[in-house]
Amino acid sequence: MEVDFSNIKVIGFDADDTLWVNETYFRDTEEKFAELLDAYETKNKIDQELFKMEMANLDIYGYGIKGFMLSMIESALDLSNNQVSQNTISEILNLGKKMISHPVELLDGVEEVLSNLMGKYRLIVLTKGDLLDQERKLEKSGLSQYFHHVEVLSDKKESNYSNLLEHLDIDVNEFLMIGNSLKSDVLPILNIGAQAVHVPFHTTWAHEMVAEDEMVNNHLKLNSLKDILKYLDN
């Protein structure tokens, strides 16, 4: 599609599954969680119950691994009718700790894109999740040097974006957001009048899915982050 990025001065990057791998580790952990509880329920049922628990807890825990760990424990108690062993609870905690300490795996072309755009645009990171965890990942990624600003939001709704742009004194007409989630990185950005580029990751969390009728055509969709360099002045 035709896009015009000539006004753009500030580019916001989502982090999880845009700069580095994230969702894959959640899927792997869900597999292991289901194995731990296979005496009580089928894998399908365990997956469903865990997701329901995460959604029920989202408002109180927010996004991130620690909330996920608590939801796994609560689901284990529910699914086992409080019979789950202390040993299994301990293993669940270890699954979460392993996720937290996992090395950061950058996605293809990330460094190339950031080093090309740095100096020509103001680059910022806009991620949601647990503050400590996201700061740790950014540090481990070695990408901090490319960014003017890093913001860890509690959510990515229109109001979160509008407030942040106002706070950072960024004109919506000069802002472009790049991310893997239509729901979090694209739709709210288009709704506030800024521009967005969608770079899908192969795995999407059910919570981040949007219905077909919410899909809009006024944004660019790329297969790889690297392709953005064809559209931006660099």
Among 50, 180, 183, 196, binds Mg ion (CB under 5 A): 180
Options 36-44, 48-56, 68-76, 180-188: segment touching Mg ion (CB under 5 A): 180-188
> Is position 130 an interface residue for Mg ion (rule: CB under 5 A)?
no
Q: How far is the CB of 106 from Mg ion (least distance, A)?
A: 14
Nearer CB in complex with Mg ion: 92/113: 113
Nearer CB in complex with Mg ion: 76/153: 153
> Is position 14 an interface residue for Mg ion (rule: CB under 5 A)?
yes
Question: Distance from first CA to last CA of the chain, Å, rounded?
Answer: 20
Measured CA to CA, the distance from residue 104 to residue 20 in angstroms comes to 7
Q: How far is the CB of 16 from Mg ion (least distance, A)?
A: 4
- Cβ partners under 8 Å of residue 22, min gap 6: 15, 16
| Residue 214: exposure state from Cβ atoms within 10 A (0-12, 13-18, ≥19) | exposed
Nearer CB in complex with Mg ion: 23/41: 23
Sheet holding 149-153, edge to edge: 149-153, 122-128, 10-13, 175-179, 195-198, 220-221
Task: Return residues touching Mg ion (CB under 5 A).
Answer: 14, 16-17, 180-181
